[in-house]
Structure 1
Amino acid sequence: MAEMTFDNRNPHHIVWDWNGTLLDDNHANLAAVNAVCAGFGRESVELEYWRSIFRRPLISCYEELLGRSFAEGEWERAEELYDSNYVKHLPTCDLAQGVPDVLHDWNGKGGTQSLLSMASHDHLVPLIGERGLTPHFTRVDGRRFETEQDSKAEHLVHHLRHQELDPARVVLIGDIDDDARAAHEAGAQSILVASGLMSRARLEATGAVVVDSPTEAVAMAMSLG
């Protein structure tokens, strides 16, 4: 990786997304989605199709997937089907290419980094610890509260405020358009990796920088001004 230097314009703090960014879990996500499909009488889908429609808010996304609206109690059933099947496949998920080396590199050059995911906080924190990644991060936050828009935006504001970070010196690295939206609303920059749950074309439509891996994302972060 190129020599890193920081000045008053470069981002000095990275906020990492987890699923699809640092964790290569597309296959676990797809298996869980297809468990929902099976539970609601829909044929299974391929990954590229899911990457073409996945979005937040999740309820409307899944209603499009199933071709109908949820009746009372059905969304909770869909969540349970998804969660139980995702957890079953989680042990087969590896860290993304270049992780954790890229985390070591960023810390070693004087940058700081934290992790913010829309996964449940109580689910997320042990996973980070089990994989030995906690020491890399100044803060690890999962979803601690619900929001009307089901977006990462309010969570990111909360995450940055609690660390007293200047959003202008922060870059969020994620894998879906909601990551770019959250960064924009919080006053931060964003870089999106095309290896997660959203197609490259949809990521590029956000206007954010799009790369292929976390390693490329960190190299790109050093060029942002």
Structure 2
Amino acid sequence: MRLLVVEDDLPLAEALTTLLTSSGYAVDCVHDGASGEALAAAEQFDLVILDLNLPQMDGIAVLNEMRARDNAAAVMILTARGAAEDRVRGLDFGADDYMTKPFDVREFEARVRSLLRRQAGLRSAKVSLGEITLDLTSRQFFASDQPLDLPPRERALLELLLTRAGKVVTKEAIVQSLTSLDDMLSDNAIEQYISRLRRRIAPYGLGLRTVRGIGYLLEKAS
């Protein structure tokens, strides 16, 4: 999952980026509204975490521009402005959630997970295929009810494929979802991760099919 943080408080921006990256998300971070609006227009994000009091362009203007372009990314407003009229205005302009500073980190993480589940069209906190289950709350994989440990990049790849099981996931979608602008993946690197993951999940009744020229499909092994 790929996230964008638009926050002009540099220590907070760094803390949010570190927190989200350590949870396995690909994170880009900018510090003014104009840069946030431009990046949201140029790249594909699953979730945008957006301050309101931003230099160059305020958060409501960024949100308004996103929705005017039919940008469907989930948006969480994270701001010190907690008045009811600010909340109503943010939600009416198309925000999916509104959280005020200071905030509890555990609640913030839970809201991020909830928004990403909703963005993926998942109602349950767990998703399963074959013998593998992903707990979306802990972001832990289980195989035959036992914890399945994976390297971070393979874990992120399997999460993407499992939440879209039965659908073809393009290479472009993999790059967009798994990497930030500072951490791009080549086609060769993607193929290596796919090959490793295919070997890891085969014992648990799953197959990872290459759809030539398009992408990859996670399905039950035949």
TM-score normalised by structure 2 residue count: 0.32
Higher strand share: 2
Query: Which one has the largest radius of gyration?
Result: 2
> When the two structures are superposed, what TM-score results if normalisation uses the length of structure 1?
0.31
Higher helix share: 1
